[in-house]
């Protein structure tokens, strides 16, 4: 939610000395992620461009995920749509996803890939993935997904050692433990092909990357903020990639491998 809206509400309450029940706008829906400070503008994007094009299995998965206690971990609908279009633009076929949760971004990817496309999907929690699996199967794309339960780093280390795996991925989406993003990058840069793309999610981290040191932040936001900022600096200085940081969802940084 927009911090300016919260601040304005607090000022109004202090000025009028009248307690009013907090309004829950659609911008504050569970699972919502957006850096836009206008509730109406974000809802306009969803209702005009996203929801009319959202496939039914994705809609069902979004609704199932909204009931999960960790729903804020999900990929936002507009980001899912963006990823799907991006995959088609680069003609991706062999992809990887680190951090799956219930699979909204995974299903968005699977729907965008050709019928013989592949996704190596990794997550430490199979139970969450199983929540979305019925919708993935309903969409007819389960055959594209190779799900591996467990930490991603050991598997990435194995793949890096395999010469046949080096430079074999067209696209990689990372939405996992932020304190390991740089560790992922050190390995993924060898696994994605020259001209391929790595997308790192949450690189604006609730807008906290520009918050002052003494700003009141939730514990998990404060803890991971430094890791996110360290990643952003490292990506900007990495000559092996071209980058673009996009304010979609909670911030997505696209990295195209140059060499």
Please say if the pLDDT value at position 24 is more than 50.
no
Please state the pTM of the whole predicted model. Answer: 0.85
Arithmetic mean of pLDDT, 207-233: 93
Please say if the pLDDT value at position 19 is more than 50.
no
Q: Where are the domains of the chain?
A: 39-257
Arithmetic mean of pLDDT, 186-214: 95
Please say if the pLDDT value at position 95 is more than 90.
yes
Q: What 3-state class would DSSP assign to 195?
A: strand
By the 10 Å C-beta count (0-12 exposed, 13-18 middle, 19+ buried), 37 is classed as middle
Arithmetic mean of pLDDT, 38-65: 93
> CB of 203 within 8 A of CB of 251?
yes
Distance from C-alpha of 52 to C-alpha of 144, rounded to nearest angstrom: 25
**Pair of tokens at residue 183:** 């560790």
pLDDT confidence of 6, banded at 50, 70, 90?
A: very low
What are residue 37's phi and psi, to 5 degrees? -95, 0
Query: What is the domain class of 39-257 according to CATH?
Result: alpha beta
What are residue 169's phi and psi, to 5 degrees? -105, 135
State residue 132's pLDDT score: 97
State residue 251's pLDDT score: 95
**Pair of tokens at residue 124:** 């430490």
By the 10 Å C-beta count (0-12 exposed, 13-18 middle, 19+ buried), 228 is classed as buried
Q: What 3-state class would DSSP assign to 92?
A: coil
Kind of pairing between the strands at 192-201 and 252-257: antiparallel
Average pLDDT, the chain: 88
């Amino acid at each position: 939610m927009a911090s300016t809206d919260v601040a304005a509400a607090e000022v109004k309450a202090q000025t009028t000395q009248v307690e009013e029940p907090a309004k829950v706008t659609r911008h504050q829906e569970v699972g919502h992620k957006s850096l836009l400070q206008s509730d109406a503008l974000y809802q306009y994007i969803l209702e005009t461009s996203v929801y009319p094009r959202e496939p039914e299995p994705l809609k069902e998965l979004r609704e199932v995920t909204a009931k999960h206690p960790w729903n804020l971990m999900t990929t936002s609908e507009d980001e899912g749509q963006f990823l799907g279009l991006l995959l088609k633009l680069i003609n991706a076929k062999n992809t990887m996803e680190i951090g799956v949760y219930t699979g909204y971004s995974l299903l968005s990817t699977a729907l965008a890939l050709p019928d013989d496309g592949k996704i190596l999907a990794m997550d430490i929690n199979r139970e969450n993935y199983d929540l979305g699996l019925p919708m993935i199967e309903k969409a007819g794309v389960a055959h594209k997904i190779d799900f591996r339960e467990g930490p991603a780093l050991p598997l990435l280390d194995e793949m890096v050692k395999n010469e046949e795996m080096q430079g074999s991925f067209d696209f990689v989406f990372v939405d996992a433990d932020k304190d390991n993003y740089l560790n992922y990058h050190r390995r993924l840069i060898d696994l994605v092909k020259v001209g391929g793309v790595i997308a790192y999610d949450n690189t604006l981290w609730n807008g906290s990357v520009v918050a002052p040191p003494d700003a009141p932040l939730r514990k998990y936001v404060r803890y991971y903020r430094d890791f996110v900022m360290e990643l952003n600096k490292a990506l900007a200085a990495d000559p092996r990639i071209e980058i673009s940081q996009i304010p979609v969802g909670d911030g997505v940084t696209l990295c195209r491998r140059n060499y």
